[in-house]
Chains A and B, each alone.
Chain A
Amino acid sequence: MELILIFFSAAIVNNFVLAYFLGICPFIGVSGKISSAFSMGLATTFVMVITSIVTWLIYHLILVPNGLEFLQYVSFILVIASLVQFVEMFIKKVSQPLYRALGIFLPLITTNCAILGLALFIVLKEYTFIQGIVYGVGAGAGFTLAITIMAGIREELDLADVPKPFKGAPITLLVAGILALAFMGFAGLISV
């Protein structure tokens, strides 16, 4: 039950994008098309899960025992950057279609603050290993949800007479603002 709550909390109530402002860059950049937005969401979820596993291990097995908590950021980001690059190369080699669908989004994820944010939140919230993974899946699902909704809306807006200066990033931000308003309805739904 607790795991389910963690999942929904991360996915909806405390949505990374709409409540924590994490991962805004890809949220604005890659939300033009539903297909690529969804792939981006999947790739992010994938990296989030891996990250939550690896950084948890590093933090609890290497940093904490040695009193090296201050190396958190440095070690986490190194791990994330290298892992992502490695996974990208691997996918590219193994399956071109998969690379086209998913892999090309991976470099973009290195600098997705949602990933590092996730790793830090897991530390901050003192999640166990399993909880951390569930949190990662939830955050990824939330990111996918937000970016896919946004892509759907933006595809619709392609057909609309949006004032020219507001096309692109501004309208995306405004829609995100309204979405954030709508998500406020979930406030207090789960407090984890």
Chain B
Amino acid sequence: MDYTLIIAIATMGGLGFLFAGGLALADRKLRVEENPLIAKVNDALPGANCGACGKAGCYDFAVNIVEGNAAVNGCPVGGDETAQLVADIMGVEAGSAIKMYPRVLCRGGNSEAVSKLTEYYGPLSCAAMDIVSGGNKMCFDGCLGGGDCVEACPFGAMIMNENGIPEVIEELCTSCTMCVQACPRDVIEMHPEDRNVFVFCKNHDDPKKAKDVCSVACLGCGICARKSDGGVEMHDNLGVINYDKLDQNLIPFDKCRTGAIGHLRKAEESEN
């Protein structure tokens, strides 16, 4: 054993001891109570503190996840494993439910909805059209076809069909409800996946007017409501389904002149 070795060992051992002691002491004296979930999430993260998530280190990212300000898969370092772990931790809180899907409750596409006499010029976003007398369609309640929901979907699960009405690709949908929030006309609603009867119209116009604006509008005739034994209620010229009381067999689908009430056409079923 020579001098350098001893000094080296002593120095490093000493420094290690010193800082370990300091940290241990600090840990004890300076500990701050916080949401235990944060610590849990923090533990699941890689802890590289690289900042790749855009947050100030792993701990901050954990706080943001727990507070709902960051996505569980926001850590590029940890990749899918970490995302899964974090999602599991967070999932304990969220609980599980029946899968919900967005449903587009308007079928008044380009070939059904009546256009205005004037031609709209301006941004083709639904929200922007909505504030300029509702863009090109006469109907003031239906889908504008601008595709705000398609834009808003982070998973590419919505597409605009040829007729100018958005469709949901369930396989890609994660029920995030971004499309629902994006729609200025509230045409998109979240429904449990097992519901398949809807009134595909939001128009409250009186029968004559409704017929003038769209060929598939709910005319408000109320025939479905009368036959359904409470399964459909009329609200201001529009049939609204009360799913608690709904008995599909009572609904006279073939009596609805415009087909406003009907079954969900799932994209994949249309192939047959």
A: residues with CB less than 8 A from B are: 25-26, 28-30, 32, 36, 39-40, 62-63, 66-68, 71, 74-75, 78-79, 82, 85-86, 89-90, 92-93, 104-108, 110-111
**A30/B11 in contact, CB under 8 A:** no
**B22/A108 in contact, CB under 8 A:** no
Name the CB-closest residue of A to B6.
Answer: A66
Please report the C-alpha to C-alpha distance between residue A92 and residue B63 in the assembled complex, in whole angstroms.
14
Number of B residues, CB within 8 Å of A: 30
Give 25 pairs: A residue, B residue, CB < 8 Å, sorted on A: A29-B51, A29-B52, A29-B53, A30-B56, A66-B8, A68-B4, A75-B15, A78-B12, A78-B19, A82-B19, A82-B22, A82-B23, A85-B26, A86-B22, A86-B23, A89-B30, A90-B30, A92-B30, A104-B60, A104-B63, A105-B56, A108-B49, A108-B56, A108-B57, A111-B50
Please report the C-alpha to C-alpha distance between residue A105 and residue B57 in the assembled complex, in whole angstroms.
6
**B49/A93 in contact, CB under 8 A:** no
Name the CB-closest residue of A to B60.
Answer: A104
| Neighbouring A residues of B30 by C-beta, 8 Å | 89-90, 92-93
Least CB distance from A187 to B in Å reads 29
| Neighbouring B residues of A111 by C-beta, 8 Å | 48-50
Known: A90-B26, A108-B51, A111-B49. A36 touches B56 (CB 8 A): yes
Q: Is B253 an interface residue (CB 8 A)?
A: no
> Please, what's the 1-or-0 string for B22-42, where 1 marks a CB less than 8 Å from any CB in chain A?
110011011110000000000
Please report the C-alpha to C-alpha distance between residue A107 and residue B59 in the assembled complex, in whole angstroms.
8
Instruction: Count chain A CB atoms within 10 A of each CB in B7, B19, B49 and give the residue with the most.
Output: B49
**A78/B49 in contact, CB under 8 A:** no
Name the CB-closest residue of B to A74.
Answer: B12
| Neighbouring A residues of B91 by C-beta, 8 Å | none
| Neighbouring B residues of A29 by C-beta, 8 Å | 50-54
Instruction: Count chain A CB atoms within 10 A of each CB in B30, B51, B53 and give the residue with the most.
Output: B51
Instruction: Count chain A CB atoms within 10 A of each CB in B15, B19, B29, B56 and give the residue with the most.
Output: B56
Least CB distance from A79 to B in Å reads 7
| Neighbouring A residues of B55 by C-beta, 8 Å | 30
Task: For chain B, residues 45 to 84, give those with C-beta under 8 angstroms from any C-beta of chain A.
Answer: 48-60, 63
Please report the C-alpha to C-alpha distance between residue A71 and residue B48 in the assembled complex, in whole angstroms.
24
Please report the C-alpha to C-alpha distance between residue A93 and residue B31 in the assembled complex, in whole angstroms.
7
**A68/B15 in contact, CB under 8 A:** no
**A93/B57 in contact, CB under 8 A:** no
Known: A29-B51, A68-B4, A86-B26. A78 touches B15 (CB 8 A): yes
15 further interface pairs, Cβ-Cβ under 8 Å (given A30-B54, A104-B57, A111-B48): A25-B50, A25-B52, A26-B51, A29-B50, A66-B7, A67-B7, A68-B7, A78-B16, A79-B15, A89-B27, A92-B32, A93-B29, A107-B59, A108-B57, A111-B50
